[in-house]
Structure 1
């Protein structure tokens, strides 16, 4: 009967033997894990005989020896309970995981290289645009509005011509004047012309509706001018030696491409533009604000 009872009782496994010795020693899994520098999960798998989840057989034997050494039990007796063949689980999945990791690493390198190429292209485009934007602005040409510019430039000459014509038409009425009077007549006419010009200049100086700006271009330069009504009265590139006169209500909004090569007078007084930065567009208002 005793032999039959012994046969019916199952043999104690390695995990059961370890757990029994640990409980007899009064040590918890957390305490033993801290002493062995292992995780609680690893000790639980060892006590549950889940050896295939702990890695290669060499690792399993090392865990068992450390366990026995800490609890001071017979190592050889415990190792005798270890199954002969213990293979790590899901070996094929580990291989596939390594392949996936390698593929992800290759994809990451390819993505970084693509970002680098894109950054180089964007940087080159920005640099090219920055280099060409300034010359393009200075070389821009446009047609000046003929009706506005010609009227503003020719208006003073037309007024002078009409005044001289009226004086010449009035001259034949003095045909009976002696020779000395006839000789003196041209001087009188010249004096009348000078006197006729002065009121025009004085009127332009006093009346803000007829302010005058004169620009002498020593070199080619781009210019744009808007008068006080917001009308554009000058626009485009002026050649070297060109003298431009514009008239209109002030203030004038002026933009010059090369202000250092242009001499400017406003209402007969010189305008100082030396304080503007060179090699840049000069934007200012006439009369200049203090």
Structure 2
């Protein structure tokens, strides 16, 4: 504690004796009082012995004294008032910095100028490169290979120019670029099953061997190549979407009740299983 704190704490002389007398009057031992306060016995002993230096800062001493006095029904406000421990005033925060409106405007202007410069450095080269590519692309013309240029058609209709006549100067022809980009298409599986609900399936190969037999869950999917499937049995057939080479197949002709049975020929066509 500082010297000022020590002088203030000296004004609490007699407070410990007063609390001790109030405790004895209440018929409590120090251990009983410490148990009720839920505080260590040494803290209570230091309060009654007025050994303030063992209790730490004055704010801690004030809190312990008030709790002890509240337990005993004692009034120690006079002691606290004399020791100037009644009120703890918070520290005042004083700002020593000041920013004028002009400084704030200049700072904002600097930040915006940096943003403009960075935008110009990054965007303009990209824009120039894209413009050059678009310009070069505009010089080409896409045409069908079946279209004959007008100059060639005129030569066919009128015949070639006489040898004595000097050839007429022609404007440079614009190059024609034929569009021959192939369309890519992924090959769909020969037979696929999409399960929208639980369904029991039994799939056999053309030679009769078992390919799959299981209970499928909603969201499952099975795909088979051409020639891999011979016979198919689907339980809860209405919950199964069958596709053949990417096209949905109506399994109603193959259903009896909720079970669909059909065979798959070598060419991929479906037929009901003969009983």
Q: What's the TM-score bracket when you normalise by the shorter of the two chains?
A: under 0.3
Bigger proportion of residues as helix: 1
TM-score (norm 1): 0.24
Higher radius of gyration, 1 or 2? 1
TM-score (norm 2): 0.25
